[in-house]
């Protein structure tokens, strides 16, 4: 299907790689801005209010709209097209993010207004992030690139952003203050919007819709599309198990990033620079893990890689902060955790994209991501209240234990046997045909 996009030597030409390059570039800049904001915004709230509870409340108001809006915009992304959704929502995010430092400089920023602005950013980010994810498989197809390699490169992009963003955010906050970091976040969203609008063809993301129109199929309405996504997930125990497990770990990660790490940085005297260093150490090692996943993931046993990655990426981060270790030891543990985390998203992405028909990617991704992210708004909120009640160290220990038990006990379920890909003939991965109806995972042989 993609041979016409390749040169005589079988290597994809530059034109064929432009859509994937554009999607990855837009991901890179918007995620970098988000990671900068992840350092700047909690620090801004913490130093201006002195309250861990209010810091957690801001995280809740940003992530709750993200999850809710993302859940219900999947059918619209499938219908309107991910390209249009991506560049328009990035513009909305940029505008809302720019208002925060502007109004603070004019002494017009109240705490309720801050909550409203971060809610607007979260509501726009949800469909924007979803749209970029949905464009990856079609962009990879344009470039004649294997799906696992494309998801691996997407993981590398995310991890690069997680390396550059915290380092830049910590430096900006330490040198120029948190408002500068928030202004840079707005600029990153605007740049991501421009990249999507200019680099991607107008029809991007409509391949499945065009196929349906050629066969004379009637396009379903919004609620039917939404119901199809819900029904599909319900008949896929493996995807549901992955989503629920990741949902619990996401809640714990949100508590860690939004409250526990900033409070540790303040109480230990290491300050925002340490937050940046920790994020960069984890991100740099995650880039290495993602690169290995991009090159060799199709040769590895996914289940083993998946649970080993979670073992390294989870509990050690919480425990090292609880034991008041020197910063050097903290950075070493974060690097090991990052290396393990680098393998996770490429594996999850490949499993999802293999099992979901292309025409349903928007609605299924939206529902799956929303369930997986449902606990994130409450992570910072619960962590802020818990730290205020019992102190930092007991909360770190409890969260580390919960992370370890969740990722290990979940691995005992039988659905995980289906994680390794179906192979036929010479080990070529079989992808479900676009027209196939959702089927129960019991029909899948491993």
Higher-confidence residue of 281 and 71: namely: 281
- Which H or E element spans position 204? none
Mean pLDDT for 345-369 is 72
* Nearest Cα to Cα of residue 27 among 179, 162, 122: 162
Question: Residue 208: what pLDDT?
Answer: 44
Most confident segment among 134-148, 200-214, 337-351, 427-441:
337-351
State residue 439's pLDDT score: 31
| Six token digits for residue 8 | 């005589």
Three-state helix/strand/coil letters over 311-336: HHHCHHHHHHHHCCCCHHHHHHHHHH
Q: In whole angstroms, give the CA distance from residue 300 to residue 408.
A: 20
Residue 432 has pLDDT above 60, yes or no: no
Average pLDDT, the chain: 76
Cα–Cα distance between 389 and 392 in angstroms, integer? Answer: 9
What confidence category does residue 294 fall into, taking pLDDT thresholds of 50, 70 and 90? low
Q: What torsion, rounded to 10 degrees, do the Cα atoms 399, 119, 344, 298 define?
A: 170
In terms of average pLDDT, the best of 343-347, 359-363, 366-370, 380-384 is: 380-384
Q: Is 65 helix (H, G, I), strand (E, B) or coil?
A: helix
Binning pLDDT at 50, 70 and 90, where does residue 426 land? very low
The reported pLDDT for the residue numbered 428 is 32
Whether the predicted pLDDT of 431 surpasses 60: no
379/210: higher pLDDT? 379
> What's the pLDDT tens digit per position in 189-248?
889 888 888 877 766 655 444 444 444 455 566 667 767 777 777 777 788 888 888 889
User: What angle (nearest 5°) sits at the alpha carbon of residue 128, between those of residues 127 and 130?
Assistant: 60
Residue 138's pLDDT band, with cuts at 50, 70 and 90, is confident
pLDDT of residue 397: 94
DSSP class of residue 9 equals: T
Q: 357 has which bridge partners? A: none
- Choose between 15 and 311: higher pLDDT: 311
pLDDT score at 396: 94
For residue 234, being part of any structural domain is answered with yes
More confident of the two residues 113 and 69? 113
What was the pLDDT predicted at 180? 86
For 400, the token pair is: 């580390």
Assess if residue 216 is contained within a domain. no
- Helix and strand numbers, DSSP H then E, in the chain: 18, 2
Residue with tokens 């421009």: 194
- Residue 257, both tokens: 């990033």
Q: What's the CA gap between 353 and 145, in Å, rounded?
A: 14
- Above 60 in pLDDT, residue 423? no
Place of tokens 């109004």: 103
| Between 122 and 151, the higher pLDDT residue | 122
The pLDDT of residue 7: 43
Q: Do the domain assignments include residue 213?
A: no
Residue 71: the pLDDT is 73
The CA distance from 308 to 326, in Å, is 26
Distances (CA, A) of 401 to 47, 309, 404: 30, 16, 5
Asked, for residue 307, whether it belongs to a domain, the answer is yes
Residue identified by tokens 């709750």 is 64
* Residue 90 to residue 129: CA distance in whole angstroms: 9
Residue 296 — very low, low, confident or very high, per pLDDT cuts 50/70/90?
low
Cα 239 to chain centroid, rounded: 16
Q: What token pair was written down for 384?
A: 């802020």
Residue 77: pLDDT over 80: no
Q: State the average pLDDT over residues 133-142.
A: 75
Residue 349 pLDDT > 80, yes or no? no
CATH code for position 144: 1.20.1250.20
Has residue 21 been placed in a domain?
A: yes
Residue 40 lies inside a defined structural domain of this protein: yes
Spell 116-137 as b/e; 16+ CB within 10 A means b. Answer: ebbbbbbbbbbbbbbbbbbbbb
What pLDDT score was predicted for residue 421? Answer: 59
pLDDT digits (tens, 9 = 90+) for 45-59: 888 888 878 888 888
How far is residue 45's CA from residue 154's CA, in Å, rounded to a whole number?
A: 31
Q: Which domain holds residue 77?
A: 3-206+222-443
**Residue 215 domain-assigned?**
no
Asked whether residue 158 carries a pLDDT value surpassing 80, the answer given is no
Average pLDDT over residues 308-330: 89
What proportions of the chain, in percent to the nearest 5, are helix, strand and coil?
80, 0, 15
Q: How many CB atoms sit inside 10 A of residue 214's CB?
A: 8
Q: How many domains does the chain have?
A: 1
Tokens of 412: 């005992």
Is residue 327 in a domain?
A: yes
Percent above pLDDT 90 for the chain: 10
């Amino acid at each position: 299907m993609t041979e016409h996009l390749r040169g005589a030597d079988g290597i994809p030409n530059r034109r064929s790689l432009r859509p994937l390059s554009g999607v990855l570039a837009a991901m890179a800049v918007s995620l970098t801005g988000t990671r900068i904001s992840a350092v700047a915004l909690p620090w801004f709230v913490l130093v201006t209010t002195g309250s861990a509870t209010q810091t957690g409340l801001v995280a809740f108001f940003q992530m709750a709209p993200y999850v809710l809006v993302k859940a219900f915009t999947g059918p619209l992304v499938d219908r309107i097209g991910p390209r249009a959704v991506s560049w328009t929502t990035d513009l909305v995010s940029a505008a809302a993010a720019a208002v925060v430092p502007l109004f603070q400089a004019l002494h017009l920023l109240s705490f309720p207004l801050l909550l409203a602005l971060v809610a607007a950013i979260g509501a726009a980010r949800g469909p924007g992030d979803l749209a970029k994810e949905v464009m990856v498989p079609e962009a990879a197809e344009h470039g004649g690139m294997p799906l696992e390699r494309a998801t691996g490169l997407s993981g590398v992009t995310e991890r690069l952003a997680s390396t550059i963003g915290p380092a830049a955010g910590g430096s900006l906050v330490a040198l120029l203050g948190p408002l500068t970091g928030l202004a840079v976040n707005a600029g990153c969203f605007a740049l991501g919007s421009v990249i999507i609008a200019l680099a991607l063809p107008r029809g991007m993301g409509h391949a499945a819709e065009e196929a349906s129109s050629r066969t004379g199929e009637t396009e379903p309405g919004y609620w039917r599309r939404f119901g199809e996504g819900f029904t599909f997930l319900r008949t896929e125990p493996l995807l549901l198990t992955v989503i629920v497990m990741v949902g619990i770990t996401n809640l714990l990660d949100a508590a860690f990033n939004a409250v526990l790490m900033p409070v540790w940085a303040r109480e230990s005297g290491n300050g925002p620079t340490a937050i940046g260093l920790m994020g960069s150490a984890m991100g740099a090692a995650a880039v290495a893990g993602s690169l290995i996943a991009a090159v060799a993931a199709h040769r590895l046993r996914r289940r083993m890689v998946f649970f080993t990655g979670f073992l390294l990426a989870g509990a050690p981060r919480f425990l090292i902060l609880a034991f008041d270790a020197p910063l050097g030891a903290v950075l070493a543990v974060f690097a090991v955790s990052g290396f393990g985390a680098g393998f996770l998203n490429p594996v999850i992405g490949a499993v999802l994209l293999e099992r979901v028909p292309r025409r349903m990617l928007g609605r299924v991704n939206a529902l799956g991501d929303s369930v997986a992210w449902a606990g994130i708004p409450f992570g910072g909120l619960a962590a802020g209240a818990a730290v205020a009640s019992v102190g930092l160290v007991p909360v770190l220990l409890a969260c580390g234990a919960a992370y370890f038990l969740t990722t290990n006990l979940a691995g005992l379920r039988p659905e995980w046997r289906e994680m390794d890909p179906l192979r036929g003939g010479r080990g070529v991965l079989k992808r479900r045909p676009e027209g196939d109806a959702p089927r129960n995972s019991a029909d899948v042989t491993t």
